[in-house]
Structure 1
Amino acid sequence: MLKGIRSRLILYITIVLLLIVLLLEGVFIVAVHYFYLGSAMETLSSRATTSATFFNKYLEGYSINERARYILENLSPEESSKVEVLNTAGNVIINSFGFSSSELIETPDVKSALAGGKGSYQSLTPVNGERIMAVSIPLKESGMNIGVLRYSISAEPLYHVILKIVLNAVWVGLLVILFGFVLSLLIAKRIVGPIQQLTSVAKEMATGNFAAKAAKQHDDEIGTLAVTLNYMSEEILKSEKIKYDFISSVTHELRTPLTSIKGWGETLLMGDLSDKKETLQGLEVMTGETDRLIGLVEDLLDFSKFQAGEITVELQPYDLRGLLEDLLLQFRYRGQTKQIRLYADIPDQPLPVDGDFNRLKQVFVNLLDNAFKFTPAEGAVRIKAISQDALIVITVSDNGEGIESADLDKLGTKFFKGKSRQSGSGLGLAICKEIIGLHGGSLRIESEFTKGTSVIVELPRYQV
């Protein structure tokens, strides 16, 4: 069983060449056969017809025996054909060798001539030791058949020539097949070689060596595959780097609050619990750091669901204004503590959506939290809602540090945090995009470096 592409390619090319050579050889042999035998038969027929016409015209009134004697006496010395004169019974009266016999000839050409027409005959198998070609023409007297003039030659020399040509053609065909086989080896090597190289590179990548690169040898489909394979390895390397950066970032995010909690815990255990101010300060720090840990763990849990495709939403209609107003109250205090102004532009008319309240709250809390996180003191955060015919558009914008254009397209992908040194797992926006997508909406980010960022959320308007 041929399992390799190389073996199958060689076999198929050889079979195709063999079929083509056999077809051409067959056509050539048939053409040679008809050319030589047809030309000989045509020449023989022309000579027999000319002689019979002459003798019928100028030997009018002569008996068949007299005509036979005249024909024999006037044969050309260069005549190579065997000439015979037969009577109406098919017996030979005389032949060109001067012999007279009562030999009976019943070949198809003689029968046709006796019936009044010209007959031809070619034996495909030897008759009396040789294959012959014969043409018979009736000899007539006053419109009546009185005998037959028969020209015949041996076809053996022609068959020998044809056989020699056929053997030469067979040798040429074998050389063509051999040349085609060698050519198929070269073609198979040229095609399979790059594939084997790609296979080797793919195996290297399978073992984790993503630095292995495939060489683009030709500008064809295999070359395109090599480029694609290299691109895939580069993307995997980038993804691996982002993943390792994420692990490092998460480790740092976990270590920082845990260190604070442990430090204050030890301080409280070893300190004077009667110092109410210090105790409350320690508990406040520990509570805040615990909240950070809870948020990080929730992000990780949501991300695991996101990866498994298990994030679900329970949709029900409600007015989005209530959620936005609650968030304004929640973040106004944070704005005061960080000296960041919070502005809101929310219309008086309802903002009906068909959504999951808790999941949408998670999205907007994350967006506002990011806005406050990346906005410096004395900065501003704005939340704006617009009700359109088919969409509810909510924009959360800030005048913070902004995002570089090189990072803007990657923002919102898993593990990506950009170049900011602010705390965070880099999962929040990816999860937000997934949640908004489950609501049939979209989330996009517009930003200008050092000038600020706007996150635009579009949700389908619920038709009341």
Structure 2
Amino acid sequence: MKGIRSRLTVYITIVLLTIVLLLEGVFIGAIHTYYLGTATDTLTSRATTSATFFNKYLEGYSIQERARYILENLSPEESSKVEVLDPTGRVIINSFGFSSSEPVMTPDVKSALSGGKGTYQRFNPTEGERILAVSVALKESGGTIGILRFSVSAEPLYDVILRIALNAGLVGLLVIAFGFGLSLIIAKRIVGPIQQLTGIAKEMATGNFSIRADKQHNDEIGTLAVTLNYMSEELAKSEKMKYDFISSVTHELRTPLTSIKGWGETLLVGDLADTGETLQGLKVITGETDRLIGLVEDLLDFSKFQAGEMKLELLPYELRGMLNELLVQFKYRGQAQQIDLIAQLDDSPLPVSGDFNRLKQVFVNLLDNALKFTPVQGVIRITSSVQDQWVIIEIADTGEGIGPEDLALLGTKFFKGRSRQSGSGLGLAICKEIIEQHHGHMRVTSVLGQGTTVRVELPLLY
């Protein structure tokens, strides 16, 4: 019973067997009650009618006289054994003409002596068969002077009940066999699609994300097939992004390393007395080293977020001070690139609960991206406001913008888009993760060829 199919078959068979046994038991019980009840009612009716007749028309006769009269007037077609008993239970005479000094004190006789009538159904060891007996009191002046007892063998009834029970059992076995076969078919129809999905999942585990599951029915298994196909598509996209990311990072690492190695060799074999060339080489090496440090930090931050090891230290902080500091920091770079950096900060305070270093990392990354993608004579506008319970910071540029296809995936891990600018493709994903850990939101809107706006929302600290 390791498989669902075998378990399902066994469970259905057990349920069917239980139902059949219960129905068989109820049916056989009903048949038993019906046949024995009908026979008892018939015998009781005959005994009661006879006793009433004899009590009425033989009044004044002794019990012995009544016994002889009853025996002499028995119908030739009477199949029951008829006995007349005195109050002590001794048989005065029976339908075979015999008497007995041994008292008959069966429950029907006792009931007739005390209540006027009684019935009895039990196996009689003496006669070796089951009997059915009815006893009715013979009365004289309101007192009981004897018992009129009718008894028959119940064996024919039990033979009929046994035949019906055997036939019912045979029908029950046929029903169980049919149900077992039907359970095999049902289990196969249920388990078949599951086995197909299992095979497809195994294929996906080996890296085959092109395989697809067939949706056979609009049920839970059909929904599972659709979900499995969706998961396969997402995994394929993730794999592609990962490979693109590896290729991009490899290129990003190779470029500064090539520059560093080239200038290092130049300085080694060159004339160190040439101050201009030496300074230029050191400047290139320093810049490319900063690029490498930035890439490595992005990778480290990403790995920490993935592992859930990035812990933030949230403290009350006034965001305006950080923004002013960053404006001063990026103003010179903007002037060097001939880009106007305009700040429109709201006069109201901007209190938030945040991790200073991580929030600074977010805004540094956003400003760096804005400067990176904004051409000469472009404008970068930083605005702040307080709306309802949120502090809102927007960084809008007039750069190259982002197409709708790339905008939908922006902020996804490993996604770098179609831009030729250097970078790991992890910056926005990390920024989004940091803002979400501050219980905030980060949204990007853009129009290709017109510019991009990044909106950061952080909960207002009261």
Which residue of the partner structure matches residue 43 of structure 1?
A: 42
Distance 1:70 1:313 in 2: 114
Deviations 1:376-423 (A, max 9, x none): 222211111225675432211012222223332421122111222222
Q: Is the 8 A contact 2:86 2:92 kept in 1?
A: yes
Which residue does the alignment assign to 1:455?
454
Q: What RMSD in Å do the two structures reach over aligned CA positions?
A: 2.8
Q: Kindly provide the amino acid, as one letter, of the partner of residue 161 in structure 1.
A: V
Structure 2 residue 400 is the aligned partner of structure 1 residue 423: no
Determine the C-alpha separation between the residues in 2 that align with 1:52 and 1:289. 125
What are the residue-to-residue correspondences of 1:225-304 with 2, within 5 Å? 225-266=224-265, 280-304=279-303
Q: Give SS of 1:310's match.
A: coil
CA distance in 2, matches of 1:240, 1:251: 16
Aligned partners of 2:383 and 2:286: how far apart in 1?
A: 32
Shift of residue 264, structure 1, vs aligned partner: 4.3
- Residues 131 and 153 of structure 2 are in contact (CA less than 8 Å); yes or no, is this contact kept in structure 1? yes
On the 8 A contact 1:126/1:132 being kept in 2, the answer is no
Equivalent residue number for residue 86 of structure 1 = 85
Structure 2 CA distance for partners of 1:50 and 1:228, relative to 1, 3 Å: same
Amino acid at match of 1:379: G
**Amino acid aligned to 1:229:** L
Residues 272-320 of structure 1, C-alpha deviations (whole Å, 9 max, x = no match):
6676655555544444333322322222222233323333445555544
Report the AA paired with residue 287 of structure 2. G
The alpha-carbon deviation at position 126 of structure 1 amounts to 4.5
User: Does the Cα contact within 8 Å between 1:116 and 1:145 map onto a contact in 2?
Assistant: no
Per-residue CA deviation, residues 201-232 of structure 1 (Å, 9 max, x unaligned), is: 22222233333333333322232222222222
SS at structure 2 position matched to 1:123 = strand
Secondary structure of the residue aligned to 2:409 is: coil
Partner of 1:174: 173
Distance 1:287 1:134, change over 3 A: closer
For 1:455 and 1:183, how far apart are their aligned partners in 2?
Answer: 62
Percent of paired sites with the same residue: 74
Distance in 2 of aligned mates of 1:65 and 1:287: 139
- The separation in 1 between residues aligned to 2:316 and 2:113, in whole angstroms, is 110
| Aligned counterparts of 1:359 and 1:140: Cα–Cα separation in 2 | 111
Shift of the 116–435 alpha-carbon distance from structure 1 to 2, 3 Å rule, reads closer
| CA-CA distance at 1:461 after TM superposition | 4.3
CA–CA distance in 1 between the matches of 2:109 and 2:311? 101
Distance 1:119 1:295 in 2: 106
2:188 is the counterpart of 1:189: yes
Provide Cα deviations, 1:75-104, integer angstroms capped at 9, x if missing partner. 33322222233344444344334x243454
Counterparts of residues 63-462 of structure 1 (less than 5 Å): 63-97=62-96, 99-102=97-100, 104-106=102-104, 107-115=106-114, 117-266=116-265, 280-315=279-314, 317=316, 319-347=318-346, 350-387=349-386, 390-462=389-461
> Which deviations, in whole Å up to 9, do the C-alpha atoms of 1:133-184 show, x marking residues without a partner?
2222233333343433222222111111111111112222222222222223
| Shift in alpha-carbon separation, 1:91–1:458, aligned structure 2, 3 A | closer
Q: Distance in 2 between matches of 1:69 and 1:274?
A: 157
User: What is the TM-score normalised by the length of structure 2?
Assistant: 0.89
Who is 2:3 aligned against? 4
Distance change in 2, residues 1:451/1:121 (3 Å)? same
Q: 1:120 to 1:306 in 2, by over 3 A?
A: closer
Distance 1:392 1:114 in 2: 102
Alignment-mate amino acid for residue 22 of structure 1:
L
SS state at 1:458 partner: strand
Q: How many residues align?
A: 461
**Separation in structure 1 between the aligned mates of residue 113 and residue 343 of structure 2, nearest angstrom:** 122
Tell me, yes or no, if the aligned pair for 1:84 and 1:94 is still in contact at 8 Å. yes
Q: Equivalents in 1 of 2:51, 2:314: separation in Å?
A: 110
The one-letter code sitting in structure 2 at the alignment partner of 1:55 is: F
What's the TM-score once normalised by structure 1's chain length?
0.88
In structure 2, what is the Cα distance between the partners aligned to 1:352 and 1:175? 80
Partner AA of 1:359 in structure 2: R
CA distance in 1: counterparts of 2:88 and 2:290, whole angstroms: 129
- The separation in 1 between residues aligned to 2:300 and 2:338, in whole angstroms, is 33
CA distance in 2, matches of 1:39, 1:166: 18
User: What residue identity is the alignment partner of 1:330?
Assistant: Q
Specify the alignment match of 1:58 in structure 2: 57
Distance in 1 separating the partners of 2:402 and 2:3: 52
Which stretch shows the higher mean deviation, 312-321 or 391-400? 312-321
Whole-angstrom distance in 2 between the partners of 1:43 and 1:409: 89
Kept in 2: contact 1:118–1:135 (CA 8 A): yes
Distance 1:312 1:30, change over 3 A: closer
Contact kept in structure 2, 1:84 and 1:92, CA below 8 Å: yes
Deviations 1:315-363 (A, max 9, x none): 5555444433333333333333333222221345654445444433322
Kept after mapping to 1: 8 A contact 2:123/2:129: no
The more displaced of 170-179 and 261-270 is: 261-270
CA distance in 2, matches of 1:120, 1:311: 89
Kept after mapping to 2: 8 A contact 1:110/1:119: yes
Shift of the 171–357 alpha-carbon distance from structure 1 to 2, 3 Å rule, reads closer
Distance 1:116 1:7, change over 3 A: closer
